[in-house]
Amino acid sequence: MSLISNRTNRSSLRKGDHVYSYRNLHAYSHHGIYVGDNRVIHFTRTQESESESSADNNFKIKRCKHCGYEPKKDRGVVKTCLKCFLKGHRLFRFKYGVPSSNLVLNRSGTCTTGSCGFSEDEVVQRATDILKSDEGFGHFDIFGNNCEAFAMYCKTGKRVSLQAFSLKNKGEIASEVMRRQSFSMKKAIESGLNLVVKNRIDTLHYDMEMHQQDRSVADNVVILSA
């Protein structure tokens, strides 16, 4: 479900933009900060995963002739060209300061109710400082410290990943539903719909809490969805 499309093109990008692209048939999105000159700073796995995705295997690069990026060698926070960042996928721009209704109706990892607290140059500088630091952005953790959290940190100073929260929250809700109810097709359908609604509201609450915004707005959404 999506209210708006965040798809954009390279010519419209500005320094400091939070960009992302999807992987594995839209299973998840990879995020970064556009720093100008066709370059993106983004946070990658700090160690090699046990298996590479089939989608990424279709985009094999030993060493990029444009930016020098080597996927098997360069890990953690990296600076690459847009082509290496996108890996053949489409380009999207993350939106900040959206109404609570937009966040509820759009996929997690596409927007936030929080506002960017830094100028374009400051966002670029923050990303660059992390790139050059010995510590980088720490150890990559898909649920606790990932690429979206990196981009959000550069823009707001907060390590927040809405798609990670949403994924984890879905699992917790589903486990609770299965524990409480006996199986039937009707209940399965009802539970699936309730899971989607509850997860979206939970994600909104989490987002607004992390950005210290007025919870009363989120409470109004809950009442309307009840």
What does the alpha-carbon distance between residue 73 and residue 46 come to, in Å, rounded to a whole number? Answer: 10
Instruction: Classify burial at 38, counting beta carbons within 10 Å of its beta carbon; exposed 0-12, middle 13-18, buried 19 or more.
Output: middle
Q: Scan for tokens 């607290």, then name that residue.
A: 117
Selected catalytic residue, list 18, 30, 31, 211: 30
Annotation marks residue 147 as catalytic: yes
Selected catalytic residue, list 18, 31, 42, 89: 42
Selected catalytic residue, list 84, 111, 116, 147: 147
Q: Scan for tokens 């299965």, then name that residue.
A: 178
Helix H or strand E encompassing 210? helix 185-210
Phi, then psi, of 56 in degrees rounded to 5? -70, -30
Across the beta sheet with 77-81, the strand order is 77-81, 39-43, 28-36, 18-23, 92-93
Annotation marks residue 42 as catalytic: yes
Closest CA to 194 of 209, 181, 210: 181
Categorise residue 130: left if φ over 0, alpha if ψ from -120 to 50, beta otherwise.
Answer: alpha
Catalytic residue annotation = 30, 42, 147
